[in-house]
Structure 1
Amino acid sequence: MDKEMQNSSLRIEHGPEGSAGGGISKYLDDDGRQKRTGTWITASAHIITAVIGSGVLSLAWAIAQLGWVVGPLVLVVFSFITFFTSTLLADSYRSPDPVTGNRNYTYMDAVRAHLGGRKVQLCGLAQYVNLIGITIGYTITASISMVAVRRSNCFHKHGHAVKCQTSNNPYMIIFACIQIMLSQIPNFHRLSWLSILAAVMSFAYASIGLGLSLAKVIGGAHARTSLTGVTVGVDVSAEQKVWRTFQALGDIAFAYAYSTVLIEIQASQLCSIFSKLLELSLNTSSTILDTRYCI
């Protein structure tokens, strides 16, 4: 009896042809899960949505610190690093064989399959620390953005002579409470329209920033720029220059980070040649992101 159950399990895990007579393969993949429907287009959209987050808001400041020579060069370098490491990660989706091996559905599963031991615990710790840091970062960014809107309305109503000081703390609490409420939604990962909305919103506020910059240039306002970034002794001190340079490098690196969700994106793909399909998605998304960031 146990042997029959084992053989049945193997047919579902490694080959849908064994269950074709019952019509299971029409609705299930080779691992027994629901048939995947993702394409390289949806993968590219998810990657772009994951990358164009709050990190894009600080890119203009980062380029201003590094200058017109180092700034775009750093963008290209981090783009290449992200693309290269992502292709390596794509090959880790199945193990031990990249085509016929068992699937790794999460980043943690890939680490467990290829490294194992204490490295899995270290990976889990790193992921949770990263998640906490991102959560704090988005909470602060959201509160700063809401305060900026509140101050802008105050200036329009009372004039720039008024200080219009507003505390960030109430807006942090409001944003955190909204996040806690939304996190209670069951099957949150099945809200496909949410990814579309996130992509539209990401492009929207990036376009708003671009539009404001163009409006300022067209209006005749000219901000002093430099090939080497902010000038020591004029704009900042030597210590501030070093600190801002490292901060700018961190902001640009943060703008390209999506490794923690790449495996999940790959797990949604329909094609059997997963690494090749994802490489096409990476090429497409990297080209779009680099163009968008440089603009």
Structure 2
Amino acid sequence: MSLEGRGKAASMEEAGVFEIAADGRQDLDDDGRTRRTGTFVTASAHIITAVIGSGVLSLAWSVAQLGWIAGPAVLMAFSLITWFCSSLLADCYRSPDPVHGKRNYSYMSAVRTNLGGVKFKFCGLAQYVNLVGVSIGYTITTAISMAAVKRSNCFHRHGHGADCKVSSTMYMIVYAGIQMILSQIPNFHKLSWLSLVAAVMSFAYSFIGLGLSIAKIAEGPRGRTSLTGVTVGVDVSGTEKVWRTFQALGDIAFAYSFSNVLIEIQDTLKSSPPENKVMRKATFVGITTTTTFYMLCGVLGYAAFGNNAPGNFLTGFGFYDPYWLVDISNIFITIHLIGAYQVFCQPIFQFVESWSQNRWPNNAFVTGEHIIRIPMLGKYPFSLFRLVWRTSYVIVTAVVAMIFPFFNDFLGLIGALAFWPLTVFFPVEMYIKQAEIRRWSRTWIWLQILSGVCFFVSIAAACGSVQGLIHALAGYKPFKTT
């Protein structure tokens, strides 16, 4: 069978890329797909890359809205909920048995197998809208960081009174150009190196932020803080306090958002030991690590800036001194989000390509794939359709980011829309179905209470973020220089 023919056959299940071993034989798994080589380490790196993203930058602001008591409590609550529901989701990778059942290659495949029907369509809508939103949010965040480096160097060179205006549009174009190239990486199996680099970068800029926060606290004077956060009548009005509290919930939810790619990450793991056991360990390590950083960044950032904590706490240290350290942290953010963008885009890429191959199985443009040799990189499976479609996707997300470059409000809305359906509802419902939990049993009732509470939290967070976007749009002019 030709390579093109094999590609067509694979697409009837899910999008997959075949590799040719050095001896000419296919290097395949027991189900005919590309052999998986992922381990506990690579899965943990994928998780850390996906979780520690731009959301960490808004946590000081979020804690400032909630205060010393509610802020850390909400961070811990989201952490525990995400860990618990991710553990449930990991058991749904294979169905009906979590160890020996048939593999589900994507989040949507797991929902289709376990729940089917309307819930499957709702899952697709929620997952892909969220992934597109994350792509836009990461483009905005990266452009802000790149522009911050330019402004910082301008102030250092020309003095603090210089008119250092910078357009983020140019940096979004640069970022999109980089993503056009990286988006040609065929699938998750080829992303391990990028995730490892991105994970190291996330640790690096988090440590820098923590160090700067500690230094600011030590030098004093610190910002004014309180047990309940921003003070009504002093910092904000009563109505604004409510909206900001809701938006803070959305920002924290976004910071823990990675369930929508959990199954795709799990699908990179070797079959032995069982994938669900390895994934549960990787999830525990990933979420524990990120929660530690989140607590430190949120709490120390609030202690440093008080109720006036900025939306992006790294920009709050100013563009002056130590300008070089802030520059390094923003460069690390940029490198990290370059990798994180790919982690979140791969499910979209693979879904569209799989659907297209099933829809037009005899179209050479859609299904054609050729092995080409790249110096120093070896063999690479090239597809013209993949080149055109993925490049178009990157361009569209970049254009939307240029039109609506609002950091906090956009992240909060993405987090709110994704948290309940993808992090809580579907994992709970699939677990109930697969474990055959009896309706109205004690376990069933508690799981439904958890899902219901998280639903109302998501609604409140979405309302707060929408209000913030409406406020930000008042008088806003797209493509302006700041």
Task: Give the TM-score taking structure 2 as reference length.
Answer: 0.53
After TM superposition, give the deviation of residue 189 of structure 1 in Å.
4.3
> For the residues of structure 1 that align with 2:191 and 2:35, how far apart are their CA atoms?
17
Q: Which residue of 1 aligns with 2:97?
A: 97
Q: 1:127 to 1:229 in 2, by over 3 A?
A: same
After TM superposition, give the deviation of residue 108 of structure 1 in Å.
1.2
Q: Which residue of 2 aligns with 1:87?
A: 87
Q: Deviations over 1:80-122 (max 9, x none)?
A: 1111211111111111222221110111110110112233233
After TM superposition, give the deviation of residue 284 of structure 1 in Å.
1.9
Q: Is the 8 A contact 1:44 1:282 kept in 2?
A: yes
Q: Deviations over 1:201-226 (max 9, x none)?
A: 11111112111111212223312222
> For the residues of structure 2 that align with 1:203 and 1:272, how far apart are their CA atoms?
28
Q: Is the 8 A contact 1:99 1:272 kept in 2?
A: no
After TM superposition, give the deviation of residue 272 of structure 1 in Å.
4.1
Q: Which residue of 1 aligns with 2:232?
A: 232
> For the residues of structure 1 that align with 2:70 and 2:136, how far apart are their CA atoms?
29
Q: Is the 8 A contact 1:99 1:273 kept in 2?
A: yes
> For the residues of structure 2 that align with 1:39 and 1:188, how far apart are their CA atoms?
13
Aligned residue pairs total 269
Q: 1:187 to 1:103 in 2, by over 3 A?
A: closer
After TM superposition, give the deviation of residue 46 of structure 1 in Å.
1.9
Q: Deviations over 1:133-158 (max 9, x none)?
A: 11111111112112222221222222
Q: Which residue of 2 aligns with 1:208?
A: 208
After TM superposition, give the deviation of residue 185 of structure 1 in Å.
4.2
* Counterpart residue identity of residue 279, structure 1: R
1:59-98 superposed matches below 5 A: 59-98=59-98
Q: Is the 8 A contact 2:188 2:264 kept in 1?
A: no
After TM superposition, give the deviation of residue 71 of structure 1 in Å.
0.7
Q: Deviations over 1:211-242 (max 9, x none)?
A: 11112122233122222111111112222212
Q: Which residue of 1 aligns with 2:139?
A: 139
> For the residues of structure 2 that align with 1:42 and 1:171, how far apart are their CA atoms?
30
Instruction: Point out the more displaced range, 162-171 or 185-194.
Output: 185-194
Instruction: Point out the more displaced range, 233-242 or 51-60.
Output: 233-242
> For the residues of structure 1 that align with 2:50 and 2:166, how far apart are their CA atoms?
31
Unaligned runs of 5+ in 2: 1-26, 297-482
Q: 1:188 to 1:265 in 2, by over 3 A?
A: closer
Unaligned runs of 5+ in 1: 1-26
Q: Which residue of 1 aligns with 2:276?
A: 275
Q: Is the 8 A contact 2:99 2:274 kept in 1?
A: yes
Q: Is the 8 A contact 2:185 2:191 kept in 1?
A: no
* Counterpart residue identity of residue 193, structure 1: W
Q: Which residue of 2 aligns with 1:119?
A: 119
> For the residues of structure 2 that align with 1:130 and 1:79, how far apart are their CA atoms?
19
Q: Is the 8 A contact 1:53 1:255 kept in 2?
A: yes
Q: Which residue of 2 aligns with 1:291?
A: 292
Q: Which residue of 2 aligns with 1:23?
A: none
1:33-72 superposed matches below 5 A: 33-72=33-72
> For the residues of structure 2 that align with 1:279 and 1:217, how far apart are their CA atoms?
37
Q: 1:182 to 1:127 in 2, by over 3 A?
A: same
Task: Give the TM-score taking structure 1 as reference length.
Answer: 0.84
Q: Which residue of 2 aligns with 1:222?
A: 222
Identity of aligned residues (%): 66
> For the residues of structure 1 that align with 2:131 and 2:209, how far apart are their CA atoms?
27
* RMSD of aligned Cα (Å): 2.0
> For the residues of structure 2 that align with 1:185 and 1:38, how far apart are their CA atoms?
16
Task: Compare relative contact order (CA 8 Å, sep 6+) and give the higher one, 1 or 2.
Answer: 1
